[in-house]
Chains A and B, each alone.
Chain A
Amino acid sequence: MSVNTGGPRVGLFVTCLVDLLRPNVGFAAVKLLEDAGCRVEVPGGLTCCGQPAYNSGDLTDARALAKQTIQALESCDYVVLPSGSCAGMLRLYPELFAAEPAWQSRAQQLAERSYELTSFLVDVLHWDAVEAEFPASATYHDACSGLRQLGVKRQPRQLLDKVSGLELREMRDTEVCCGFGGTFCVKYPDISTRMVDDKIANIAETGAQAVLAGELGCLLNIAGRLRRQGSPVRAYHVAEVLAGMTDDGIGGEEA
Chain B
Amino acid sequence: MKSTAHLFTEQARAALADDSLQAALRRAKSGFIDKRAAAIAAFPDFDGLRERGRRIKDHTLAHLDHYLERFADAVEACGGHVHWARDADEARRAVLDICQRAQARSVIKGKTMVGEEIGINGALEQAGLEVVETDLGEYIIQLAKEPPSHIIAPAVHKTRAQICQLFAEHHGSTAALREAPELVAEARAILREKFLAADVGITGGNFLVAETGTVVLVTNEGNGDLSLTLPRVHIVLAGIEKLVPTLDDAATMVRLLARSATGQEISTYTTFVTGPRRANEPEGPDEYHVVLLDNGRARMLADEFREMLRCIRCGACLNHCPVYSAIGGHAYGWVYPGPMGSVLTPQFIGLDGTKDLPNACTLNGRCQDVCPVKIPLPGLLRRLRDLQFERRIIRGPQRWALRLWGWVARRPRLYHRLTALAARFAPRGAARRLPLDPGWTRSRDFPLPKGRTFQSAWQERQRQENGHG
Q: A interface vs B, CB < 8 Å?
A: 1, 14, 16, 18-27, 30, 42, 44-48, 50, 52-61, 64-65, 68, 144-145, 148-149, 175-177, 179-196, 198, 220-221, 223-225, 227-228, 250-253, 255
Flag if A176 contacts B322 (CB, 8 Å).
Answer: yes
Q: How far is the CA of A145 from the CA of B389 in the complex (A)?
A: 23
A108 and B6 CA atoms in complex are apart in Å by 39
B278 at the interface (CB under 8 A from A): no
Interface size on B, residues (CB 8 A): 68
List, sorted by A's number, 9 A–B pairs whose CB atoms are closer than 8 Å.
A19-B419, A20-B419, A46-B412, A52-B405, A179-B322, A182-B363, A190-B13, A195-B326, A253-B428
Q: Check A224 against B366 for contact (C-beta < 8 Å).
A: no
Contacts A185-B439, A255-B428; A191 near B323 (Cβ below 8 A): yes
Residues in A neighbouring B444, C-beta threshold 8 A: 193, 196, 221, 224-225, 227-228
Question: Chain A contacts of B440 at CB under 8 A?
Answer: 185-186, 189, 224
> Whole-angstrom distance from the CB of B29 to the nearest CB of chain A?
10
B430–A42 touching, CB < 8 Å = no
Interchain CB contact under 8 A, A252 and B363: no
B447 and A186 form a contact (CB under 8 A): no
- Is B390 located at the chain interface by the 8 A CB criterion? yes
Q: Which of chain B's residues have a CB closer than 8 A to the CB of A53?
A: 402, 405-406
- Determine whether the beta carbon of A65 is less than 8 Å from that of B406: yes
Stretch at the interface among B46-54, B182-190, B338-346, B453-461: B453-461
B437 at interface by CB-CB < 8 Å:
yes
Closest Cβ–Cβ distance, residue B139 to chain A (whole Å): 31
Cα distance, A79 to B405, chains bound together (Å): 24
Q: Would you give the 0/1 interface string for B422-446, flagging 1 where the beta carbon is closer than 8 Å to chain A?
A: 1100001110100001111011111
Task: Report A-chain residues with C-beta under 8 Å of the C-beta of B403.
Answer: 58, 61
Interchain CA distance A215-B453 in the complex, whole Å: 18
| Most chain B C-beta atoms within 10 Å of own C-beta, residue among A26, A188, A228 | A188
The CA of A50 and the CA of B359, in the complex, are separated in Å by 17
- In the bound assembly, the distance between CA atoms of A45 and B411 in angstroms comes to 8
Considering the chains assembled together, what is the distance between the CA atoms of A182 and B465 in angstroms? 37
A45 vs B415: C-alpha distance in the bound complex, in angstroms? 10
Other than A61-B410, A148-B365, A187-B438, give 10 A-B pairs with Cβ distance below 8 A: A20-B419, A20-B453, A23-B453, A23-B457, A57-B386, A177-B366, A191-B12, A220-B446, A221-B444, A252-B430
| Whole-angstrom CA separation of A244 from B465 in the bound complex | 22
Residues of B within 8 A of A46 (CB): 412
With A191-B326, A228-B445 in contact, do A58 and B366 touch (Cβ < 8 Å)?
A: no
Smallest CB-CB separation from B411: which chain A residue? A47
Instruction: Compute how far the CA of A187 lies from the CA of B453 in the bound complex, rounded to whole angstroms.
Output: 27
